């Protein structure tokens, strides 16, 4: 099962301050919209999403090419999903699950 590109989605209090901090670590913004309170930054293979006011806790994020195939595989393994993709559709969709400690995992096909 290929989960795709990994990133962490951080719930930040001040988008500009967080951007400056991560840019000091060598990250560069390559996507997102500061006016809409989110930016995606990269440094080599590392990706970080900064989101102000969109959710409360940090989220582990994967961007696969086929979220529905992953959903089927996880369900077959008995993994509980808190949000499911509509399997009758194609294209962008997402699923959400939580690890045993309650950390949210977003698997988001663009």
pLDDT tens sequence across 38-80: 999 999 999 999 999 999 999 999 999 999 999 999 999 999 9
pLDDT surpasses 90 at 110: no
In the chain, count of helices (H) and strands (E)?
2, 7
Whose tokens are 């990250």? That residue is 27
Residue ranges of domains in the chain, CATH in brackets: 5-109 (3.10.180.10)
Which is more confidently placed, 58 or 110?
58
Nearest CA to 7 out of 33, 52, 57, 45 is that of 45
* CA distances from residue 94 to 27, 78, 103 in whole angstroms, order as listed: 26, 18, 16
Write out pLDDT tens, residues 4-39. 999 999 999 999 999 999 999 999 999 999 999 999
| Token pair belonging to 4 | 């795709």
85: tokens are 């993709």
């Amino acid at each position: 099962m290929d989960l795709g590109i990994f990133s962490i989605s951080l719930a930040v209090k001040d988008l500009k301050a967080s951007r400056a901090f991560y840019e000091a670590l060598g990250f560069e913004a390559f996507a997102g919209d500061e006016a809409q309170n989110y930016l995606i930054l990269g440094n080599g293979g590392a990706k970080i999403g900064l989101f102000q006011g969109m959710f409360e806790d940090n989220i582990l994020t994967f961007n696969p090419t086929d979220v529905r195939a992953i959903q089927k595989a996880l369900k077959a393994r008995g993994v509980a999903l808190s949000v499911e993709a509509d399997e009758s559709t194609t294209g962008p969709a997402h699923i959400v699950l939580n690890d045993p400690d309650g950390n949210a995992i977003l698997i988001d096909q663009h």
